[in-house]
Every structure is written in C-alpha cells, then in structure tokens.
Amino acid sequence: MLAVHLEKGRVELTEQPLPRVPKGFARIRLLNAGICSTDLELQRGYYGFSGTPGHEFVGEVTEAEDASWIGKRVAGEINLACGKCEWCARDLGRHCPNRTVLGIVKHPGAFREFLTLPVVNLHPIPAALSNDQAVFIEPVAAACEILDQVKLVAGTPVALLGDGKLGLLIAQVLQAHGARVHLFGRHKEKMKLVEREGITAETIGKSLPERAYSLVVDATGSAEGLRSAIDMCEPRGKVVMKSTVHGLVQIDTAPAIVNEITLIGSRCGRFQPAMRMLVSGKVRVDSLISERFPLDRASEGFARAATKGVLKVLLTAPDRDAR
Amino acid sequence: MLAVHLEKGRVELTEQPLPRVPKGFARIRLLNAGICSTDLELQRGYYGFSGTPGHEFVGEVTEAEDASWIGKRVAGEINLACGKCEWCARDLGRHCPNRTVLGIVKHPGAFREFLTLPVVNLHPIPAALSNDQAVFIEPVAAACEILDQVKLVAGTPVALLGDGKLGLLIAQVLQAHGARVHLFGRHKEKMKLVEREGITAETIGKSLPERAYSLVVDATGSAEGLRSAIDMCEPRGKVVMKSTVHGLVQIDTAPAIVNEITLIGSRCGRFQPAMRMLVSGKVRVDSLISERFPLDRASEGFARAATKGVLKVLLTAPDRDAR
C-alpha cells in the first residue's frame, strides 16, 4: 500500500505492506485526511519526527475482531492510551504518560492507504456528515476543548487572536455557545468565511484593546499572540493558549501576575461534541477547504498547505485505477 | 518628619512636612515596617520608581475624621482604589485601573514617620499580635491569596519552589490549610525555619521531579522557577505564579499546552484571613526576622535586606530622643 513518509523535512511516498492489526485494533481504509499546522511543524522538525504523519482523517473499517465495525465509516481519537495507568482510570487517556499519538508520537499516521487504531478510539460518523466534513471532527474537537475548560457566559465578548484553520473553527464553536466572538486576524478573506455567523472580525492593527476581555483565546501560532492576549485580558480574566509554538517564547509575566490572569493550556478535545457541532451545522467547514490532492501527490499538498493564505488542504485516497 | 526617599537606586533620608490628610483618609504614625523583595526591585528601577517606598507596616492612627480610629493600631491594604469604577463595584479594588499603590505607584509609602491611607483600607490589629508580627499581615495576605484562587484538597502534595520570605509564608499557609507542602529551596537554614511545621523541604538539585504535582507554586522570583514549575506540574494541573520577575521571561509554552496546565497569576490578598492565620499561630513569623534598623538607618537596612541569606529586615520608628 501507499504511505507518506516524512524524513528531515522531505515528503516522500513509500510502498509498504498492509499494517498488521493487533488485538483490540481495527484496520481502516483511508477516505480523506486533512493536513494540519501540526503536520507542517512536524515537517519542520517538531518532536524530531520521522515517519508517516496525519491525524485528521475519515476512513472505512476493513478489519476488526468485532465484525459489526467492518464497513463502518469512522473518525478516530488520536491518543492511544495504555488503559492501565491512573490517567486512563480517570478517563484522561489523552494525558496518559505511556500514550502514543497517531501520526505524531510513535504510531504511524493517517497519510497512508490503510491505518490502524484501537477500536476504543473509533467513532462511527453520522450519515449527515460528508467525508470532507468528517475530516474536521478532530480539529473541531480541539476547538470544543475550550468549552470543557472555561465556563462561557452567554453574551460575553471573547477576543480570539488568529484567523488560521483552528482560529476559524474556534470562532464558530464559541459563537455557537453564546459568546460574542471578536476575531482579530490578518486576512480579511479568511475572516469573511466566518463573519456571516455573526462574528465580529477586525484586522490586527498596531494597537490592540488592552485590559478589555474577560476571555482571550490565542490561536495565532505565534509567540506575539500570547503576549498580545495577556495585554488584552482584563484583571482576573482568562487566556486560553491554543498556539503550539516550537521553542522558547519570550513573555512578560509581570502583567499576568499583577492582573492575576489565568493562562490555560488547551489541546485535544472530545469527539462527541465536535460531531454534534458539525451535524447541527453550527460549525460550517466546507468553505475552509482550500484544495485537495490524492495521497500520491502528498508532497504538493504539503507545499500548498504551507502557502500563506491557504486554509485546509485535504489528502484523498489514491485513485486505484489511475495508478 | 523623617522620610526615606529612593532615587536612582540610592536610599536617602529627607525631612518632610507632615502629610496632609484628605477627606476619608487617616494619618498614621509608623511603628514598624518591613522591607519586601518588591522594595528591593523598586530600588533596582522596577516601575521607574522614585519616592518613598514601603507597603508592609503597622502604625497608630493619629488623625481621622471618625475619632474612634484615633489611637488604634492598624495595618493597611496597599491598593488605593477609586471606589467608582466597575472593578470597585465588584469589590475588586485591588484591580481598580485608577488605583494608586502605597509605596509602589503614586502614593508615598510607609518608610516615613507618618503615612496616610484611606480609612477603608485600614484594619485594626488584634491585641494578640505584636508589632513585629503585624508587619507580616500584608505578605501573609499575599500568600493567602492562593487559597482564594485554587481549591486545596486536604492531603494533596503541593510543590513550592522558593525558600525566600514569601515562599516560607506560603509554605505555612498552604500546610495549615491541609496541603502536604514539598518545599524546594536553596538554603537549608531557611527551610529549617518551617520544616518543624511538618513541611518537607528539599534542596533543589540538578533534576526536579517531572509531571509529579497537581499544584505547583513558583515563589522563586526567577525565570527558571516558572520553567521548573511547568515541568513539575502534572497534566491538567495548576501552577501559581507568585514570582514577579522584571523584564521578559523565556518559557517553553509547549509542555503547558500539551499537558493542558493552568498558570495562575497571583498577587495581593485579603487581610482578614491573614490576620486569622497569624493570631492562630498557624503562620509563625518571629524566626523570619533577620534584623531591625531604625528608620534613620534605612540605607543600612536596604543593604542588609539585599544580602544573600537574609530574610525579613524591619525598619522601626526612629528613637526621637536619640536623634
């Protein structure tokens, strides 16, 4: 089968045997996958990564012990937990210290014709969701994670910094949950995609409002984003950190301490609320897809995804007849 | 009257007229004051400070509209709030954007024979507290602030980084509230002062336990302190930031985000719980006093307070007969 292999920044194609299916696992035929900013960071050397990336996907189960899974269209949670430690016992497998992570840490990812995941990680996809939409379950779950961490008070203005892929999903998720989202971004055409949802969008200017929001979400992917977020947050307010920045970040902690601001690290989220958001149409993702490439043109897909202004690039199952 | 004046790092003595007493204010004769790390930072140029520092004090009211205050021994909250803004309406005068701060921001401090503060800032001091002990109400309140921000679960191990003045108070406050404090410091003789309270003390070695505590308090006053605190915190845990570091701090935000750690800025606290802690004897401060100097030897006091290994230095009312 065809698999993408990332090595020292190069996106290569390899021919591999079908992955074996350990007990409790399923084999899944890839339908669609999404290239995420994390994949681009892996390409840049984040986590010293080498292997098959990809963790946003929709596929069809082709093998599983429990035959009822076979033929099901599924998305999959990306953290493969040990199931035995205290974190797993507390239902926090996403923080299991022994975990591997699909396409990120020690478990080959979804950018291949067939992948494997534990059956407990799988979620059957509601018929109402297209394959394109289903690829967004994982990133929408990451956006929904904020709802599990912060109590949103209806009508409260929330500042959101960053109009990238994740930012645009967060904007919709928070707005759907009653917040009044003020999106601060750099790309008018991107912000326009969610402005119709009633979200106020503003181009980041020289000065940003200071001490103005009880909740600020930084999804800029930059170190300046966090600094701005702290400045924009009012005393006793909260800043959600959604930007994974590679390397050290310089921040002035004094305003965070003087104003007693709470900074909350935020990562993966639960799939169920994300699927509900997508099925209800409260989060709309179709316009966020910039382009699609078959798996055997993954290298072009990566290059495209890294281009300024481009949003989600999908990798699709290779056309078997065309190969 | 005699007043300390800080200018470009120099501690000078000046002779000043008695401060006038605006409506709603009291004039207070200084009994005892404490030199805090913030005062040393002001000396180093923090906040571009120039004027009379000092915000930890006990004094006797000599003038006030309401005569019942006169003769009372008092401590005073250091934030002078406007009383009119939304923050004041929410009883958060400590975060009033229009506030001045005793001895720190635009209100002359306590290192003078007579100071002034609004009567609403004053707290009569229980007879059980000596003048020496009463000086610690303000820093103990800052330690108690953590209790208002974080729910302590009895028996939970809490890592505390830093065995300075504030660290030793925080250790006692948290221990008294049921936490099992593990104090990580650099000075065996300092840590010994609180070890008798049942607190485990450990010298900071090359490696610190990682992912080990659900609550970590950084009171090191250093940038490395925050970095270590994040590493020591377990996933979904909390790091309380008690170190005001002057300038930019380099931190790796990735572990905070991946492990979804919450970083909480923490500053001044309420005086009532602090007085209760001191009266009950649950926080003992007598052994934390390293030395005392009369106000007219403030310069020596500052030099002593800045000496490695020295804990609290008190400035006392000048001996009038001796001058």
HEC string for B205-231: CCCCCCCCEEEEEECCCCHHHHHHHHH
In a domain, B273, yes or no: no
The CATH number linked to A175 is 3.40.50.720
What pLDDT score does A322 carry? 47
What pLDDT score does B322 carry? 47
- A261 lies in the same domain as A151: yes
A35 by DSSP, 3-state: which? Answer: strand
Residue of B nearest to A234 (CA): B95
Mind telling me how many Å the CA of A165 is from chain B's nearest CA? 18
Rg of the Cα atoms in chain B: 20
Residue of A nearest to B257 (CA): A265
The Cα B18–Cα B158 span in angstroms is: 47
Cβ-based neighbours of A116, under 8 Å, separated by 6 or more: A19, A20, A21, A22, A25, A26, A27, A28
A239 touches A262 (CB < 8 A): yes
Q: Lay out the sheet containing A106-107: strands in order across.
A: A79-80, A100-102, A106-107
- B132 lies in the same domain as B144: no
Residue B166 sits in which domain range? 140-265
Q: Do A149 and B260 touch (CB under 8 A)?
A: yes
The CATH number linked to B46 is 3.90.180.10
What pLDDT score does A243 carry? 87
Residues of B in contact with A251 (CB under 8 A): 248-249, 251
Cβ-based neighbours of B155, under 8 Å, separated by 6 or more: B178, B179, B180
In a domain, A203, yes or no: yes
Beta bridge partners of residue A294, listed in sequence order: A316
pLDDT in tens, B256-267: 999 999 999 999
In a domain, B92, yes or no: yes
**Kind and range of the H or E run holding B30:** strand B25-35
Q: Do A253 and B241 touch (CB under 8 A)?
A: yes
What pLDDT score does B320 carry? 61
Residue of B nearest to A246 (CA): B254
Q: Which residues of chain B have pLDDT under 70?
A: 320-323
Number of domains in chain B: 2
What pLDDT score does B175 carry? 95
Query: What is the bridge-based pairing of β-strands B289-294 and A262-265?
Result: unpaired
**Model's pTM, two decimal places?**
0.94
- B29 lies in the same domain as B123: yes
What pLDDT score does B20 carry? 97
- B183 lies in the same domain as B252: yes
Q: Which residues of chain A have pLDDT under 50?
A: 322-323
Q: Which of B236, B249, B257 sits opposite A95 (nearest CB)?
A: B236
Residue of B nearest to A245 (CA): B254
Mind telling me how many Å the CA of A322 is from chain B's nearest CA? 41
Q: Which of B95, B252, B262 sits opposite A248 (nearest CB)?
A: B252
In a domain, A276, yes or no: no
What pLDDT score does B274 carry? 98
In a domain, A172, yes or no: yes
End-to-end CA distance of chain A: 12
- B129 lies in the same domain as B17: yes
- B223 lies in the same domain as B97: no
What pLDDT score does A29 carry? 98
Q: Which of B97, B259, B262 sits opposite A211 (nearest CB)?
A: B97
- B132 lies in the same domain as B188: no
Mind telling me how many Å the CA of B72 is from chain A's nearest CA? 31
What pLDDT score does A320 carry? 61
- A159 lies in the same domain as A239: yes
Q: Do B257 and A244 touch (CB under 8 A)?
A: yes
DSSP letter at B281 equals T
- Candidates A160, A40, A47; CA nearest to A111 is A40
Q: Do A267 and B254 touch (CB under 8 A)?
A: no
Residue with tokens 């990580």: B184
- A90 lies in the same domain as A17: yes
Residue of B nearest to A145 (CA): B260
In a domain, A65, yes or no: yes
Mind telling me how many Å the CA of B104 is from chain A's nearest CA? 12
- B159 lies in the same domain as B254: yes
3-state DSSP helix/strand/coil % of chain A, to nearest 5: 30, 30, 35
Produce one character per residue of B209-240: b if its CB has 16 or more CB atoms within 10 Å, e if not: eeeebbbbbbbbbebbbbbbbbbbbbbbbbbb
Query: What is the bridge-based pairing of β-strands B73-76 and B122-124?
Result: antiparallel
Q: Do A264 and B260 touch (CB under 8 A)?
A: yes
- A100 lies in the same domain as A120: yes
- A191 lies in the same domain as A90: no
What pLDDT score does B10 carry? 95
In a domain, B111, yes or no: yes
In a domain, A300, yes or no: yes
What pLDDT score does A241 carry? 97
